[in-house]
């Protein structure tokens, strides 16, 4: 009787340990999920590293040269130089007024 009870207790413990190993969050399934998360985080880190390199190059370019700073101000802020004129053309051009804009004949 004692041998059966001991065998039953050991079988129950073995089943619980196997469940924890295969089915729980800190078992094989959890490790596989964590590996997937690590891979996706590494891919995101590579993208962010590349973005940071581009931003660092842009900052270095802006610090070194006035032309890069002027170009950025022209495109982003609408900078107009001291000896430059700014024109705004209102309305759309008449059809056929621009060279090559009419239908092919």
What are 7-23's pLDDT values in tens digits? Answer: 999 999 998 888 888 87
Residue 49 is part of which domain span?
41-80
Orientation angle between helical segments 28-64 and 66-77, nearest 10 degrees: 110
The string of pLDDT tens digits covering residues 30-49 is 888 899 999 999 999 999 99
Say how far apart CA 55 and CA 74 lie, in whole Å. 19
In a domain, 68, yes or no: yes
In a domain, 28, yes or no: no
CA angle 40, 43, 44 (to 5 degrees): 90
In a domain, 3, yes or no: no
Say how far apart CA 64 and CA 73 lie, in whole Å. 15
The string of pLDDT tens digits covering residues 84-100 is 887 888 888 777 655 55
In a domain, 76, yes or no: yes
In a domain, 88, yes or no: no
In the block, tokens 């270095």 appear at: 60
In a domain, 30, yes or no: no
Q: What is the mean pLDDT of the chain?
A: 83
Q: Is the pTM of this model over 0.75?
A: no
In a domain, 71, yes or no: yes
Say how far apart CA 50 and CA 43 lie, in whole Å. 11
Domain count of the fold of the chain: 1
In a domain, 29, yes or no: no
């Amino acid at each position: 009787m004692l041998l059966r009870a001991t065998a039953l207790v050991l079988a129950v413990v073995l089943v619980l340990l196997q469940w924890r190993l295969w089915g729980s969050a800190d078992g094989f399934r959890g490790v596989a999920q964590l590996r997937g998360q690590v891979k996706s985080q590494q891919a995101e880190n590579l993208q962010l590293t590349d973005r940071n390199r581009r931003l660092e190059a842009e900052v270095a370019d802006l610090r070194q040269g006035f032309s890069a700073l002027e170009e950025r101000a022209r495109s982003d802020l609408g900078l107009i130089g001291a000896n430059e004129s700014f024109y705004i053309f209102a309305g759309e051009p008449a059809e056929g007024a621009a060279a090559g804009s009419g239908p092919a004949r």
